[in-house]
Chains A and B, each alone.
Chain A
């Protein structure tokens, strides 16, 4: 035995001892303050599910207000223009942080990363529990902003100062804004804990034989997302603290001499652009934090249901690493119109275009995976195919916005709103849906209803295209985003019919989400019992019991002999070879 291998085993043995903990006793330790990554994963999942309904409800109110500004809604009442801005701020913030960041990584990543690498739990179970409960506190603080004097802030999810830095700039910029920033700061701290845990677990707790290049692409995607989170959330945390200081301690990091409503404010010398640099240094990687796990799960599902190895496994890994790496060097493409040096736009633009290359590799490889496969169309597969379609549609508007020249007409219009909703919103949500339908049997021990699942897919697929594709047309016509009413600017009048169409499409799409929730809860209670491996899949989570025991493998540590996607292997007894089966060849 050489020294390296020996050293590795010592570390492995130590970390197993460190994190091995007894099975939970009592309801509170088992389900509330649980240390089990599976329970924590489910807690994250339900937090995100709650958040997505709040976020969706806010968007519905926005769509109603745009078309019928005078309508009096039950309970909500008459929506004022400033309320519309609070709705959009809270919609964006809740969706980005508490849904798109929480569900794929905190939810599915937490549940399946340890099982997929053959580990009995996360490296730091207590940290994992703290991470969830800190996120929960952040969510409560965020919601509290609705109920304080002045209501929720109206500065948008990007919170540009001075609007977000001075109380008198508008309703909601008082205590509401303080709560909003505090919530985000708490969320950042929670995400840092999670990121550390994911990285350590992936590096240290892999089962024997689980080399990096045998890890499922889902594990790669959670691992890379965790690295992005570790580097990005710290920056947002610092920026948030500086903003709180500007608001409450009289500092001037982001605020120069300004006059609000005729009142000279006490600030001087600060730079509003500094916030934008810090925010987008986090904000752009955040886009990939939201979408990378979707890419991972889509790869996993396409391969599983096409009954074919993933096309170009290594290229897929390198593409995700490339996207993650480049993702840190392109933040300036959000700032072409900001007053930043126009020379730097060249570099930001070129690097942004370069991200198109690994993104295109992923798309080609997904198509290559389907090519000559034997596709089984279960609901997870439909959502995975939907993900590819939406990723293409949302991705191809990127090269428009990456060019500073085209940002002159398109920046801050609905074109941008359509672009990021398709790719970071809907495609990522399709990744979450695909993951839910795919892993539900393992998580809850029962199958979801296929008929309801398919109805949910078709309505959501067509519905989201009907909402977000027309936004590109609005943007081309020069419709600025974040306008609470369409009556004041004359050229917007022609666009109202298209806006109306989108509102009706939103009604139908949101209606379809009830099918999902009914299916989810009904199947949890009444669905048919699931087998250990209902999809004939190859990765390690399908080798263990359904649902998995406390230590995931019932005291037996799996040993890995194969790559993650060995489907249709010629000469094999079945059309899939699991990662724990005897080795099928030297390929992986």
Chain B
């Protein structure tokens, strides 16, 4: 039975580790300025935890087999209540490992969450509702117009869905869309809102995730670094259509972005 435990525990360990190393399933390609640092922190954690995982599981399997009851021929057990020196050694080691990992990652978090967006960032307001995302650009005046909950009409879509008050002068040039366009290599200043329940704005390729919470306007920033189309998924349970609350980000050149926004402005006239 000890041998069977050794075999099965080792097998589970090696098969799991094999898939972790071969990684047919892995983080999607990173296309934002922060992706490299986040991925590096992930891989570091991954390797360190992987080593602990293999060592602990292999020792468990090995001990189960090596110290099985071999009947009367076996040596007597080691009558010991423990070893204080060893307790201190592994307490300190794990303390250093875990706290060290934590401190390593904290710089990335600070860059993501403590620093405000640059003044030159593209402002985009993201609004989540059951079960769609809307994106708003402030237009040439650089100012978002007022929205009013009393005016919200999700069935009408776009401007009406987010309750844009068209009598506000600042609202005249606001552009509201269902697909997000972003210029490449420029920071984006998101304002995240939700009108009904909590949603979570998750762009896996950009290593971006932030809940959108009713009653809060949450500012976040990200810099896309590669032209292409990327999926948005909702990552917070928001009701029966949670699974289909997805959207697209189209990252384009600055030139194409300017053209696109000019065309939308023209449509409004």
Contact = CB atoms under 8 A, between A and B. Distances in A.
Does chain A bind chain B?
Answer: yes
A498 B210 contact: no
A264 interface: yes
B91 interface: yes
A406 B45 contact: yes
A160 B237 contact: yes
Given A408-B38, A413-B235, A495-B25, A462 B68 contact: no
B196 A259 contact: yes
Interface in B15-63: 16, 19-20, 23-28, 38, 41-42, 45-46, 49, 52-53, 56-57, 59-60, 63
Contacts of B129: 259
Interface string A281-309: 00000000000000000000000001111
A465 B195 contact: no
A262 B154 contact: yes
Interface of B: 1-2, 4-5, 8-9, 12, 16, 19-20, 23-28, 38, 41-42, 45-46, 49, 52-53, 56-57, 59-60, 63-64, 67-70, 74, 76-84, 86-87, 90-91, 94-95, 97-99, 101-102, 105-106, 108-109, 112-114, 129-130, 149-150, 152-155, 163, 195-198, 200, 202, 204, 207-211, 213-216, 218, 231, 233-244, 246
B240 A82 contact: yes
Interface in A342-362: 342-343, 345-346, 349-350, 353-354, 356-357, 360-361
Interface string A461-490: 110010001000110111011111110111
A376 B113 CA distance: 54
Contacts of B5: 377, 382, 385
A162 B84 CA distance: 51
Interface string A556-572: 00000000000111100
A272 B90 contact: no
A169 B156 CA distance: 19
Contacts of B213: 272-273, 338-339
Interface residues of A, number: 117
B236 A389 contact: no
17 contacts: A163-B198, A258-B149, A259-B195, A306-B77, A308-B80, A364-B90, A367-B63, A368-B82, A377-B2, A382-B1, A407-B209, A411-B209, A469-B12, A485-B244, A489-B231, A567-B77, A568-B78
A375 interface: yes
Interface stretch (A115-123, A397-405, A542-550): A397-405
A370 B218 CA distance: 52
Interface of A: 80-82, 85, 154-156, 160, 162-163, 166, 169-171, 255-262, 264, 270-273, 306-315, 337-339, 342-343, 345-346, 349-350, 353-354, 356-357, 360-361, 363-365, 367-368, 370-377, 382, 385, 388-389, 392-393, 396-397, 399-400, 402-409, 411-413, 454, 458, 461-462, 465, 469, 473-474, 476-478, 480-486, 488-491, 495, 498, 567-570, 575, 587-588
Given A349-B102, A365-B82, A465 B12 contact: yes
B99 A480 contact: no
A555 to B, nearest CB: 34
A375 to B, nearest CB: 5
B56 A357 contact: no
Given A262-B154, A361-B87, A402-B102, A171 B77 contact: no
A403 B69 CA distance: 42
Contacts of B99: 350, 353-354
A163 B197 contact: yes
A480 B239 contact: no
Contact of A473 (B19, B68, B239, B244): B19
Given A315-B82, A368-B83, A375-B67, A568 B215 contact: no
A568 B81 CA distance: 11
Contact of B105 (A313, A367, A405): A405
A258 B95 CA distance: 45
A163 B68 contact: no
A403 B45 contact: yes
A353 B207 CA distance: 22
B174 to A, nearest CB: 19
Contact of B80 (A155, A309, A409, A478): A309
A371 B78 contact: yes
A468 to B, nearest CB: 11
B79 A162 contact: no
A405 B108 contact: yes
Contacts of B4: 458
B204 A409 contact: yes
A312 B27 contact: no
B126 to A, nearest CB: 13
A412 B200 contact: yes
Nearest to B99: A353
Nearest to A458: B8
A570 B77 CA distance: 9
B236 A313 contact: no
B237 A405 contact: no
A342 B218 CA distance: 11
A170 B240 contact: yes
Contacts of A270: 215
